[in-house]
Amino acid sequence: MHSPPFSALAAVYDAIMADVEYDAWADFVLTYARDGGLNLQSAPALDLACGTGGFTRELREAGLDVTGLDGSEAMLREARVRLPELPFVQGDLRTFTLPERFDLLACVFDSLNNLLTPADLGAAFSRAHAHLKPGGLFAFDVNTRVGVRELWEGDAIEGVAELPGGGEVHYHWSHHYDAEGEVGVVQAFCRVDGEEFVETHRERGYDPADLEPLLKAAGFARWEIVEYPDYAGPEPETPRVWVFAWRGEA
């Protein structure tokens, strides 16, 4: 059965992604924020494309007052089970509007690569800027063009993961690069208790030269584009970059 992106996958996502280093990513982001002078104790934060709440939980455990936002109601259902005390809202990265303003916005795990045009990415940057307090920080990662072309060695990953309630999920995810459309295409096949589904995910790569004019147009005062985990400047063949963009004080 073919399912929309991040729908059927939601129920098995955490099992397959059990090794994702959300804790290290959170430390990377929060260290940069604190070194930049941001006071994060009980600070309001917004986790964009929060999915099932893996990164949201790390921000909460670090003492932030976190809200999660995602476009997939199926993923949000899992997040609400994991973190019932936190607010989660459904919203499109390009158009969301919330009444609150935040000291920190984050969007991790190449979620912004799912926006397939510069116009859509620029709209997401504008929404992020609009939801920051003066002096606030927007932190995110994106796969570069190289990263999307060469996503995995061998262009496939597969395995078996145990599910929390018993049983297991068998998964085989294959990748190919559509050179004409300039997008990476992932076919995510999963089998759970004899039931099978496939989701197709598409990503566009964005290099620093693609990001900078969009950040400027969105109104960010300054930004820094670095590699994880040492904050070094990216090389031409860097597969993923992290961006720290600041809203001006005024």
Question: What CATH number does the domain containing 71 carry?
Answer: 3.40.50.150
The per-residue pLDDT for range 36-54, each reduced to its tens digit, is 999 999 999 999 999 999 9
Beta strands 44-48; 222-226: pairing state: unpaired
Q: Does residue 1 carry a pLDDT above 90?
A: no
Asked whether residue 61 falls in the same domain as residue 153, the answer is no
Asked whether residue 139 falls in the same domain as residue 27, the answer is yes
Q: Which pLDDT score is estimated for 77? A: 98
Tell which residue, 152, 209, 198, has the closest CA to residue 175. 152
133 Cβ contact partners less than 8 Å away, ≥ 6 residues apart: 101, 102, 103, 247
Within 10 angstroms of residue 21's Cβ, the number of other Cβ atoms is 13
Mean pLDDT of 220-248: 98
Q: How many domains does the chain have?
A: 2
Q: Which tokens sit at 94?
A: 């390009």
Asked whether residue 163 falls in the same domain as residue 137, the answer is no
Asked whether residue 70 falls in the same domain as residue 152, the answer is no
Asked whether residue 77 falls in the same domain as residue 135, the answer is yes
Asked whether residue 106 falls in the same domain as residue 152, the answer is no
Asked whether residue 52 falls in the same domain as residue 82, the answer is yes
Q: Which pLDDT score is estimated for 153? A: 85
Q: What is the pTM of this model?
A: 0.97
Q: Does residue 204 carry a pLDDT above 80?
A: yes
- Going by the DSSP 8-state scheme, the letter that residue 115 receives in this structure is -
> Which of 188, 203, 218 is a domain's end point?
203
Asked whether residue 86 falls in the same domain as residue 171, the answer is no
Asked whether residue 128 falls in the same domain as residue 156, the answer is no
Tell which residue, 20, 27, 14, has the closest CA to residue 58. 27
Q: Does residue 221 carry a pLDDT above 90?
A: yes
Asked whether residue 86 falls in the same domain as residue 127, the answer is yes
102 Cβ contact partners less than 8 Å away, ≥ 6 residues apart: 43, 44, 45, 46, 67, 131, 132, 133, 136
SS3 state of residue 203:
strand
Asked whether residue 72 falls in the same domain as residue 177, the answer is no
DSSP 160-186: EEE-TTS-EEEEEEEEEEETTTTEEEE
80 Cβ contact partners less than 8 Å away, ≥ 6 residues apart: 88
Mean pLDDT of 23-31: 98
Q: Which pLDDT score is estimated for 165? A: 85
Containing domain of residue 94, as a range?
2-145+205-246
Asked whether residue 221 falls in the same domain as residue 187, the answer is no
Q: Which pLDDT score is estimated for 65? A: 98
